[in-house]
Every structure is written in C-alpha cells, then in structure tokens.
Amino acid sequence: MDALTLADSFGGCTPQAIYTVVKKAIKRLKKPMEIHCHQDFGLGVANTIYGLAAGASVAHTTVTGLGERAGNVPMEDVVLSLLCQYGVNLGIRTEKMCEVSRFVLDLAKVKIPGNRPIVGDMLYQVESGIVAGFVRKARAKSPMEYVPFAPELVGQAPVSIVLGKNSGLPSVQEWCEKLKVNASEAEMMEMVRLVKEKSFEKKDLLTQAEFETIVSQVKHDPQL
C-alpha cells in the first residue's frame, strides 16, 4: 500500500472526528493519508482542512464542488482557505478560479447560486444600503474593510453597488454620481423609496434604465 484514503462518502463526519482518525491512522500505519469528503452537512471543507492539519498530504476536491448529492469538496474553498487563513500557498493560480469554474459548470450544464462563495456571479454585488456606505467610505483607504479577500485574487469583477429592495441613501448617491445626476438629499430619499418599490414589484435588482426612469420621475416632481 502506497497511501490510505479516508473517505467520508456520506458527508456525515465532523472536523474533530476527522482530525482524530487521521492522526491515529498515520501513527499506526506510518503511510501517507488522503482525505475525501462530501458536503451533505456543509462540513466538507472544514473536514478537509482538519484532515490536512492532522497530517493528511492529499485532499480530494472538485471544481466548485461538483459531485454526488450535495457535492464533493470545492477546490476553490480549500485552496483559498489554505492561502488566506493558513498562509499555505499551493502554487495554484487563484485568479483563474472563476474562469475555470464557469467553464466546467457550462460543460456540466450545472447552475450555482449567485452568492456561491468565491465563484458566485453576485458575490461582489453590494445591495444593502448600510454596506454600500461602508464601501464608499473604505474605497480610498482599504477595500479589505468590506470583503474578506480581494476580488482580483479569484478573478472576480470589482465590488459594485447595485440597486434593490435593501438599498439605501448611499446606494442612490453612488448611482447619481455614476450617472452624473445632481440631486438634493430629499430627491435621493424619494429615489430610494421608488427603488425599493420597484425592486419588490419585479422581485429583482434594478437595471440602469429602470433607475434612470426613477430619476426622471423624481426630477419632474414639483413637490421636490
């Protein structure tokens, strides 16, 4: 035997159990250990990290976690966790993660939630008004004040402020600046109200054209 794989094929183990078993197996068998986990309880990444911490030398992963049931352990999550949280650089070009993920998902005809960690299309879209305020204040100082890792590290587009039901005054301020719209605070607060109303109506984010319609409506309101 060259190596032993500990396979949690049903995703039912806990990180503590993985750590204990890997430690004991290496001590008893004196052979390299590999760790193979699944995501049924959402613990696959943590289990894999604990297995590596206990001495396993190989981690089984798949691109964006494709696999049986809830999926295998996502390669992106393990690699980025090791890099950013543990300072372990595997030499993988993380800036290609999004490109590779989209390529594989397209071939597999699989869709993932927009807020999927690391490679989700909506991951760096900021809808919350209060967070939009953080973003606007932090841009000039440090973008790491509002995201755990820089978008370019994984090939994501830069953080953008979008308009939806959770938007606030900072969100509208951002878009007014972007479109070079001069508006008073009272006008912008009315825009916030209309943005929320429109977003609830369509159950989605607003497009630029929809916001421009709202701006026109507000600017022509004689009461404002």
Contact status, residue 94 vs residue 80, Cβ threshold 8 Å: yes
| Separation between Cα atoms, residue 96 and residue 11, nearest integer Å | 28
| Separation between Cα atoms, residue 186 and residue 105, nearest integer Å | 45
pLDDT in tens, 20-63: 999 999 999 999 999 999 999 999 999 999 999 999 999 999 99
Amino acid 143: pLDDT? 64
pLDDT in tens, 101-143: 999 999 999 999 999 999 999 999 999 999 999 899 887 676 6
pLDDT in tens, 177-194: 999 999 999 999 999 999
In whole numbers, what is the pLDDT of the chain averaged over residues? 94
Higher pLDDT, 148 or 81: 81
Q: Are strands 125-126 and 4-8 parallel, antiparallel or unpaired?
A: unpaired
Amino acid 121: pLDDT? 93
Q: State the residue for tokens 């841009």.
A: 139
- Tell me the residue type at 62: T
Boundaries of every domain in the chain: 4-92, 125-219
**pLDDT greater than 90 at residue 94:** yes
- 151: tokens are 């978008």
